Amino acid sequence: MHGAGTPVFEHLATLLPLLARYRWLYVLGISALIVTSGGQLLIPLFTGRAVDILLSSDEPARAVLPTLARLLGVAIVVGVSRFVWRLGIHGASRRIETDLRRSLFHHLTVLSPDYYDDVRTGDLMARATNDMNAVRMATGMAFVAFFDGLFMTVAILSILIARNARLTLLTVLPLPVITVLIILMGRRVRHLFATVQEGFARLSEQAQEVFSGIRVVKSFAKERFFLRRFASANDHYQNQNMVLVRLWGLFFPIVAFLSGVTVVILLWVGGKAIIAGTLTPGDFVATLAYLQMLIWPMLGAGFTVNMLQRGAASVERINKVLDAQPTIANGVEPRVPRTTTGIEVKNLSFAFGEATVLEDISFSLADGATLGIIGRTGSGKSTLVGTFLRTVDPPDGTVFVDGEDVRRWDLDALRHRFGYVPQETFLFSATIIENISFARPDADEAEVIAVGTTAGIDRDVAEFPEGWNTLVGERGVTLSGGQKQRIALARALLADPQILVMDDSLSAVDSETEERILASLRKTRAGKSTVIVSNRVSVIRDSDLILVLEGGRVTQQGRHEELFKRPGLYQTLARIQQIEATERER
């Protein structure tokens, strides 16, 4: 990973493959840029020649027409070439921005779920937006400023020295001060810009957090609290920006002052030369025009440093994400899955850091059987089912699917075997039918409705004004918890998985709907395996094998009938829930 003290060009060097990909666009753009600058260099010569002709008493006024025609021709060439260099260089930088953003997004989808435990959503959004803009400027406008500035500086100084070396050396004396300023500023810009980007990330995170949890914010009447917190972060972001703006803002007045000094020197020395007859008025006008043109390369050098420093800071931030490696690596032997399924766990122990979550778990689930997992909150149920799909990475030789260690499976092939309905239901801001068909975009409406009926969401949909085309809002905010769970279940069923995993996914469903869903599942999924995690005995009682988890250990396993007869947690939970059900019926 690249450290904060890494030189600017070492960070930017990571963009070389992208720059090489669009090298011909850069060649086209830089060639057109040179033509543009070369044309601009001719304009003062023609202007000076026109002035001398007009002031000459020996030539008629119409003698200036050929010079004006050349001037017009140069202007047309400059206009066309300016369009071409913008198309080439800016086109390349836009493509680089697009490719880099695509790479960042792809890498974020590859990273393991635990990566997102330590990063903020707002920070990732800032890297995908503001930082990408800075990279675009570094690979676009910075190129223009650098090549144009370098070409114009060398060309203008060469022309001026060739025409009048003494006058040139005197008038450009103040300009090296600008170079010193650029070097001093560059050391500060990168650090300040990185600080500004981090402030923007915090601002984005706070906004995203409030918008996502707006119902909680309003229910606790905390709008003013979050407004004050956002205002504080906003003011901090503004202050960091102002530090950068003040530093950068000093550069332009100083450049303007120094350019004014060069004009004063020219007026003093050049004026004397005109009076003495050693300099023509046309040459004076041309020299003045060239000096004014020389201001842009000086500004361009500042632009280049500013944009490269900003770009380097942003590339560093983007590279920190791209350098992160998934903690769950793909299997070494990608494979084509068989049509039969089975899960076997052998002496599985697992810990997050120093905290043991699962300890010495062993069981076997036959093809087409149903596994029920029950236990109190925090007993390790979700972690256990996570090892089946490798969203949690188990040790070697502990978890097997189809008789093969899950760590040897290709991740895509393994996860396609499963249909997963998580504890925390996530729905996209789309219609109900689009949320369900996410599992299989090619499914027709009849298939979507069929799995929706199995999941028990069909009755609710019938009452919605737009039916299956009802928009659910961000994260399904317009639906109840039970409705969201049933849509998520329908989504998993549409994939027709060999193994369906329901991680406490009926917790918000009433008992009558629960029974109807379970009966439909038994009918439609005959011959296929199902794993059901729940705190309710009624949900798992018909399972072929039930595991009782306590403190990460399997304290009991078997069928409902035998577990209900044994003293233990299962019997306790079953009796308590029976009493609660009886009380509700009364």
Give the chain's mean pLDDT: 83
CATH number for position 531: 3.40.50.300
Q: According to the model, what pLDDT value does residue 178 have?
A: 72
The answer to whether residue 255 sits within a structural domain is yes
Q: What's the gap between Cα 532 and its chain centre?
A: 35
Are 242 and 298 part of one and the same domain?
yes
Of 496, 516, 540, the residue that ends a domain is 496
Of 472, 496, 520, the residue that ends a domain is 496
The answer to whether residue 329 sits within a structural domain is no
Q: Give the pLDDT mean for 436-453.
A: 89
Are 140 and 188 part of one and the same domain?
yes
Q: Give the pLDDT mean for 4-27.
A: 80
Q: ∠ at Cα 36 (35, 40), nearest 5°? A: 115
Q: According to the model, what pLDDT value does residue 242 have?
A: 85
Q: According to the model, what pLDDT value does residue 154 have?
A: 86
Are 447 and 413 part of one and the same domain?
no
User: Residue 476 is part of which domain span?
Assistant: 424-496
The answer to whether residue 333 sits within a structural domain is no
Are 63 and 136 part of one and the same domain?
yes
Are 437 and 562 part of one and the same domain?
no
| CA atoms of 548 and 535, how far apart (whole Å) | 10
Residue 248 CA: distances (Å) to CA of 176, 189, 259, 424, 485: 18, 8, 17, 48, 54
The closest of 10, 299, 7, 15 to 134, measured between CA atoms, is: 15
Q: According to the model, what pLDDT value does residue 400 have?
A: 92
Of 434, 461, 496, the residue that ends a domain is 496
CATH number for position 152: 1.20.1560.10
**198-255, pLDDT tens digit by residue?**
777 778 777 777 776 776 676 667 778 888 888 888 888 888 888 877 876 777 777 7
Are 79 and 179 part of one and the same domain?
yes
Predicted TM-score of the model (pTM): 0.75
Are 511 and 572 part of one and the same domain?
yes
Confidence of residue 336 (pLDDT cuts 50, 70, 90): low
Are 233 and 359 part of one and the same domain?
no
The answer to whether residue 121 sits within a structural domain is yes
**Sign of the torsion angle spanned by Cα atoms 579, 581, 584, 586:** negative
**123-168, pLDDT tens digit by residue?**
888 888 888 988 998 899 888 888 888 888 888 888 888 878 888 7
Are 85 and 186 part of one and the same domain?
yes
Q: Considering its fold, how many domains does the chain have in total?
A: 3
The answer to whether residue 330 sits within a structural domain is no
Are 434 and 541 part of one and the same domain?
no
| CA atoms of 517 and 542, how far apart (whole Å) | 13
Q: Give the pLDDT mean for 66-80.
A: 87
- List, in order, residues 6 or more apart from 279 with CB less than 8 Å away: 164, 167, 270, 273
Q: Give the pLDDT mean for 9-22.
A: 86
Are 364 and 472 part of one and the same domain?
no
Are 412 and 452 part of one and the same domain?
no
The answer to whether residue 250 sits within a structural domain is yes
